[in-house]
Amino acid sequence: MVRDEPVFLPRWVDHWRKTVPPEHMFILVDGFDQVVPPEAAGCQVVFLPRRPPAPGWDEARWRMLTAFAHALLERFEVVVLNDVDELVVLDPAAGGSLASALAEARELGVITPFAIEVVHRVDLEEEPLVAGEPVLGRRRYGRIHASYCKPCIVARPVRWSLGGHYSDHPVLHLSEKLFLFHLRAMDAALLHRRQAARLSLVSDGEGRVREGIAGGGWARDADNVDQFLQSFCRSAPEVTDFTFGWQRQRIRRSWRQEEGTGMWVHDRLHNRRSYAIPERFFGVI
């Protein structure tokens, strides 16, 4: 579901065109005033009326997205639901195809990819991103952000939490070969512009944040964005084998049902350590 996403939507469409025909790609557009970029030609584009931001706004949006995914499961065997800045990628070292890896949900029910948040290391990466060119390669660093290890590949109906971070599905299938690359922080200038728009949406006319509209991340200001980006500059990027064994073990060990919500959750597991993304991923997105 998108509104004012001239950068991420073309990249999302380009990524998924490599795996599925465009008529299998569904884009929900928030507002009749929106103009969809030409890259979305052939996709299933559904324009919806805007709902004024108010307490419960994002909760209602996620109820709608959940219901829409359930409807698609009546005709499709597997549905992938992500935000436009989240791309699911098959590790090139695993072999096979992304389509076949997604199809494993037919047997597993729900698949959770391992999440890497691409981070613009402003101290090491001076060049801006270029439209139409890959992100990975020009951006070479990321951090582990387990909150984005989302149960987003489903072959059966689930109830998602706000943001789709968790669901009520009790079994964790944390993929060894599928990664979710979260791209919100792939470029400092873009992150600033996008975050300013989100902050405006949840604020009143005097700039005060109105509670209960969306998650806390929407309320961060420009100083918060700068602090976030600069925090990664305090240490050198780490080079690993990119398997993240102990991190995966901690996610699995911490798997539990949350009282009150019924959601199955795990530890969030994120910090300000950055990791070099292996060259085999360069050009994949």
- Written as six digits, the tokens of 11 are 């990249």
pLDDT at 270 over 80: no
What is the per-residue DSSP string for the chain?
-BSS-TTHHHHHHHHHHTTS-GGG-EEEEE-TT----GGGTTSEEEEE------TTHHHHHHHHHHHHHHHHTTT-S-EE---TTEEEEE-GGG-S-HHHHHHTHHHHSEEEEEEEEEE--TTT--SPP-TTS-SBTTB-EEEEBGGG----EESS---BPGGGS-BS-----EEEEEEEEEEEES-HHHHHHHHHHHHHHTB-TTSPBPTTSS-GGGG--HHHHHHHHHHGGGSPPB---S--HHHHHHHHHT-EEPTTT--EE----B-S--EEPPGGGTTT-
- Rounded average pLDDT over 141-148: 94
**pLDDT per residue as tens digits for the range 215-260:** 888 889 999 999 999 999 999 999 999 999 999 999 999 999 999 9
pLDDT at 137 over 90: yes
Using a cut of 0.85, tell me whether the model's pTM lies above it: yes
- Rounded average pLDDT over 91-103: 97
- Written as six digits, the tokens of 199 are 């902050």
In whole angstroms, give the CA distance from residue 95 to residue 46: 35
Question: Phi and psi (nearest 5°) for 84?
Answer: -70, -20
| C-alpha angle 25-89-82 in degrees, rounded to nearest 5 | 45
- Rounded average pLDDT over 10-34: 97
Nearest to 154 by CA among 93, 223, 76, 262: 76
